[in-house]
Amino acid sequence: MRFNAISQYFDVYLVRHLGEIFCCKASLPTCFPFNFTKIEKHMQIFNLKLIFFTAVLAVTMNSSYAQSVNAPVYAVGEKWEFMKKDLWTGKVIQRYTVKNIGIAGDYLRRSFETTNISANGDITKPQFTESTVRADMNENIMFHGEKSIKVWYKWPLEIGKKWSLQSKSEIAPTAANAVAQTMVSTWNAEVVQWENVDMPSGKVKALKIVYKLAWTLDSPTGGGDGVYTVWYSPEQKNVVQSIYETFTADGSPQLRTITQLVLTDGIVKTSTPAASN
């Protein structure tokens, strides 16, 4: 809004003052001694106004993106529909819908409708599940009776903020490995910048967060790394796009997927998700 008002003022100034200069130029033979000084004066004023306008524009643009973002405040009935693609083939491999069906303090009850699509295009019957999750978008982890919190989002979010998270999980025995394995995953996260993300409804302003993953396995030993990049939108109260890539120990790319928000419904706008510094 401030930018539009400044732009309109600047446009009016150009029309009024430059128009006066050009009118003077049109009658240059008869008014040259007087109007030359007037032109010079107007150009000096114009240059000062241009410098002022540029400075205000820079401050306005920077302040609109220099925000700290608080955790979202959810409401019952809010719903998001996502689509996941395999980046190797460009094919859709999954569609799923998430809906808030209940709230209890710091926790949400959510329903999930998931449809998987095979490599040859076969569409599975939708699967319906419900789960209780943390309202701050982080994750409770239990490993061998010990509870920890997987901090995906260290609120408030702001550009340049960094943190780390670690988790352990157990991989069940397989035909290739008869012994259960423990995987230790370490993530280093950084809030990089604001970006505009294309959605079916138009562009959405979102914070880009990059998570760099390193994981190890025991018995037998092994490991690899990965990069998980998300774009979180305070307006949509969710991640509007994410890209997940994993690599083997020698750097060869393996899993490569992109998940995008394609539809929202019933999102209740609040003033709490974003607050200026």
Report the 3 state secondary structure along the chain: CHHHHHHHHHHHHHHHHHHHHHHHHHCHHHHHHHHHHHHHHHHHHHHHHHHHHHHHHHHHHHHHHCEEECCCCCCCCCEEEEEEEECCCCCEEEEEEEEEEEEECCEEEEEEEEEEECCCCCECCCEEEEEEEECCCCEEEEECCEEEEECCCCCCECCCCEEEEEEEEEECCCCCCCCCEEEEEEEEEEEEEEEEEEECCEEEEEEEEEEEEEEEECCCCEEEEEEEEEEEECCCCEEEEEEEEEEECCCCEEEEEEEEEEEEECCCCCCCCEEEC
* CA atoms of 246 and 259, how far apart (whole Å): 15
Q: What is the pLDDT of residues 52-96, one digit of tens each?
A: 444 444 444 444 455 899 999 999 999 999 999 999 999 999 999
Band of pLDDT at residue 176, cut at 50, 70 and 90: confident
**Out of 48-57, 61-70, 148-157, 237-246, least confident range:** 48-57
**Assigned token pair, 59:** 């401050």
Whole-number Å distance between alpha carbons of 137 and 84: 20
pLDDT digits (tens, 9 = 90+) for 178-205: 788 898 999 999 999 999 999 877 899 9
Sign of CA dihedral 145, 148, 152, 155: positive
| Confidence (pLDDT) at 91 | 96
pLDDT confidence bin for 218, thresholds 50/70/90: confident
Does the pTM of the predicted model rise above 0.85? Answer: no
Q: What value does the mean pLDDT take over residues 172-179?
A: 79
Checking if the pLDDT of 271 tops 60, the result is: no
Q: Indicate the average pLDDT of the chain.
A: 81
Q: What percent of the chain has pLDDT over 70?
A: 73
